[in-house]
Amino acid sequence: MESHSITVSLLGTLLVICGCEGTVDQQKTLEMTTWSVAAIDPLSGDVGVASASCVPSFADALAALVPGKGAGATQAAFDIDNRNVVYKAIQQGLTAEEVIARVTDPSVDQETDRRQYGVVTLNDGVVHTAGFTAPSREGTTGGTEGTERWAGIMADPGMGVTVQGNTLVNEAVVSDGLEAFQWEDPTGFNELSDRLMRALEAGSVAGGDVRWWGRTLRNGSNRDQ
């Protein structure tokens, strides 16, 4: 009997969850999820999402996980209804590009300028990756108190992964995360969960969320410590 696993990581803690709509009483919207990694193992069909942020969030709400079909991360001005749109679209067998087209359709969401998504799918043995970053946030932009932040997406369909983030210290949070996911550990720690955690940790080392550094510096701490 074929089996798949699903893994979500939040702030370095691995959680095993169900990739379906939640029924628990949680907030419907949140300003959450600074950077994330969504991935599928093209051979096993295992799926996972890893994410980190300096703002409150809940792991099972940001991830859309359908073993054997794909994974998606919903972030920035998060809305759980949009996460459910992504989940249902992956479940129906849509490609990553089609998933993004659906969830960013104005008839589905009229606040796309506040959103960010990363989706990876496996369709008839072919991996598709696609993402969306609000145009007003993409690249390097100015933030509050004159602090610049970076937002964007990088992917590797061959590895079945997409990395995305917003309000980041720099582009390296995403690029280093992608490189860490791609790296082959010679000691053999190359399971999907290993790659997800490596990517998350690399993003943290690269600087992570610009808002965390802002708070740290205002509190008198040294960024280089």
Give the number of other Cβ atoms within 10 Å of residue 191's Cβ: 16
Query: From CA 67, how far away is CA 200, in angstroms rounded?
Result: 21
Provide the 8-state DSSP code for 169.
S
- pLDDT of 155-165, one tens digit each? 999 999 999 99
DSSP three-state, residue 189: coil
Which has the minimum average pLDDT: 32-46, 166-180, 193-207?
32-46
Identify the sign of the CA torsion 167, 170, 176, 178: positive
**Domains located in the chain, CATH noted:** 27-218 (3.60.20.10)
Which has the minimum average pLDDT: 139-148, 157-166, 189-198?
139-148
Adjacent-strand bridge partners of 21: none
What confidence score (pLDDT) does residue 209 get?
A: 87
Among 86, 62, 54, 81, which Cα is nearest to 169's?
54
- Residue 136: pLDDT above 90? no
Average pLDDT over residues 88-112: 96
Query: From CA 16, how far away is CA 21, in angstroms rounded?
Result: 15
132 Rama class: left (phi>0) / alpha (psi -120 to 50) / beta: beta
What confidence score (pLDDT) does residue 220 get?
A: 41
Which residues are CB-neighbours of 14 under 8 A, at least 6 positions away? 7, 8, 193, 197
Cα 122 off chain centre by: 17
